[in-house]
Amino acid sequence: MNKLLNREEFVELLNGIGKLRYHNLHPFHKLLHSGKCSKIQVQAWALNRYYYQYSIPIKDAILLSKFENSDDRRQWRGRLNDHDGDSLQIGGLQRWMILCEGIGLDKNYVQTLEGISPTTRFAVEAYINFVRNKSLLEAVASSLTEMFSPNIISERFSGMLQHYDFVDKDMLGYFIPRLYQAPNDVNFAINFVCNNATTVELQISVLKALEFKCDVLWTMCDALYYSYVSPGFKTYGMF
């Protein structure tokens, strides 16, 4: 890439990354959504993903601290409201716990964060450190996997509901608000990266940040596959 792309070209490249690398393509998710996971595998997925959900508001607070004006912070603060809840509704983290409990995990066990795969832990912490240590532009860019999330959510919602008798609609309450929250968040983030990636180097840094984030999500699926599908190896203490 040696010339500055216009907005349309740039957004097309961002979308292209999703088409190649977003975790909806991962074999684990294909199993999960098509009803081929055992209950234990679904539990392992929900438990490990809990650590990601747990870390997202921490990541967002770090990211928020990098903005230098009230308008941007106010906009990003909405993500904290979504994850931690507000006076009107419970947050995403609590909704995720409803899913965990619904499929038979013990709340206290989940909250201890014991049982999480070390690979999940390292991947999620790599994400937090990326946001902490990289530029604001790269940090915002790393959130852009949400461009691709409405598809996986609708696929997951209908697939899990159809295929698992131990899953019901109330347990999947996490995903409903995400269907309107994510596009709103994405809208701001895309505008931000398009407006601020004003050189070829900055555009490349945005693309790399999105690839990195795809790797984070993909690696979390690798960990699930490796330990719960094949070959099924776990480290001491894992669920």
Chain contacts with its own copies (rule: CB under 8 A): 57-59, 61-62, 64-66, 68, 70, 73-74, 77, 80-81, 83-86, 91, 93-94
Q: How far is the CB of 84 from its own copies (least distance, A)?
A: 4
3-state SS class at 24: helix
CB nearer its own copies, residue 42 or residue 56: 56
Say how far apart CA 88 and CA 136 lie, in whole Å.
Answer: 30
Closer residue to its own copies, CB minimum distance, 21 or 79: 79
Distance separating the N- and C-terminal Cα atoms of the chain: 44
Distance CA 145, CA 22 (A): 7
E strands, the chain, are none
Q: Which is nearer to its own copies, 57 or 115 (CB)?
A: 57
Q: How far is the CB of 90 from its own copies (least distance, A)?
A: 9
Residue 126 Cβ vs its own copies, minimum distance, rounded to whole Å:
16
Those residues whose C-beta lies under 8 Å from the C-beta of residue 48, and which sit 6 or more positions away, are 116, 117, 120, 220, 223, 224, 239
Nearer to its own copies by Cβ, of 150 and 173: the residue is: 173
In the complex, the smallest distance separating the C-beta of residue 166 from its own copies, rounded to whole angstroms, is 26
